[in-house]
Amino acid sequence: MIRNPGDPLYWDETDLRKERDRANDICHQCRMCFNLCPSFPALFNHVDDHDGDVHRLTAAELTEVTDLCFQCKICYVKCPYTPPHQWDMDVPRLLLREKAVRVKRDGVNAQDRRLSNTDRVGRMGCNMAPLANLANRNALFRKIMSWTVGIHEDRNLPDFAEETFEHWFHNRPQPLRSSRKVALFYTCSVNYQNVNQGKAAVTVLEKNGFEVLVPEQVCCGMPYLDSGEIQKAADNMRKNAAGFQQAVSLDIPVLSIGPTCGYVLKNDVSFFTQDPAAEAMSKKTKDLCEFLMELKSRGELNTDFQFTPPTQIAYQIPCHLRAQNLGYKSMDLLRTIPNTSVQLIEQCSAMDGSWGMKKQFYQISLKVAGKLFREVNESSAGLICTDCPLSALQIEQGTGRRPLHPIEVVQRAYVGAAI
pLDDT(307) > 80: no
Mean pLDDT over residues 11-39, rounded? 95
pLDDT tens digit sequence for 348-365:
999 987 899 999 999 999
Q: What is the DSSP string of 334-377?
A: HTTSTTEEEEEE------TTTGGGBTTTHHHHHHHTHHHHHHHH
pLDDT tens digit sequence for 219-252:
999 999 999 999 999 999 999 999 999 999 999 9
Domains of the chain and any CATH numbers: 8-106 (no CATH), 303-415 (3.40.50)
Q: How far apart, in whole angstroms, are the C-alpha atoms of residue 188 and residue 412?
A: 23
Q: How far apart, in whole angstroms, are the C-alpha atoms of residue 67 and residue 318?
A: 21
pLDDT(308) > 80: no
Mean pLDDT over residues 388-395, rounded? 96
Q: How far apart, in whole angstroms, are the C-alpha atoms of residue 371 and residue 342?
A: 19
Q: Can you give the pTM of this predicted structure?
A: 0.94
Q: How much is the mean pLDDT over the chain?
A: 95
pLDDT of 1 reads 79
What percent of the chain has pLDDT above 90? 92
Q: How far apart, in whole angstroms, are the C-alpha atoms of residue 263 and residue 201?
A: 18
Angle at 287 between CA 376 and CA 390, to 5 degrees: 40
- Peptide bond before residue 84 is cis, with ω within 30 degrees of 0: yes
SS3 assignment, position 182: strand
Residues 6+ apart with CB under 8 A from 206: 175, 176, 212
pLDDT tens digit sequence for 75-127:
999 999 999 999 999 999 999 999 999 999 999 998 898 888 999 999 999 99
pLDDT of 335 reads 95
Residue 309 pLDDT level (bands cut at 50, 70, 90): confident
pLDDT of 419 reads 67
pLDDT(14) > 90: yes
Mean pLDDT over residues 319-324, rounded? 95
pLDDT tens digit sequence for 165-205:
999 999 999 999 999 999 999 999 999 999 999 999 999 99
pLDDT tens digit sequence for 40-62:
999 999 999 999 999 999 999 99
pLDDT tens digit sequence for 251-302:
999 999 999 999 999 999 989 998 999 999 999 999 999 999 999 999 999 9
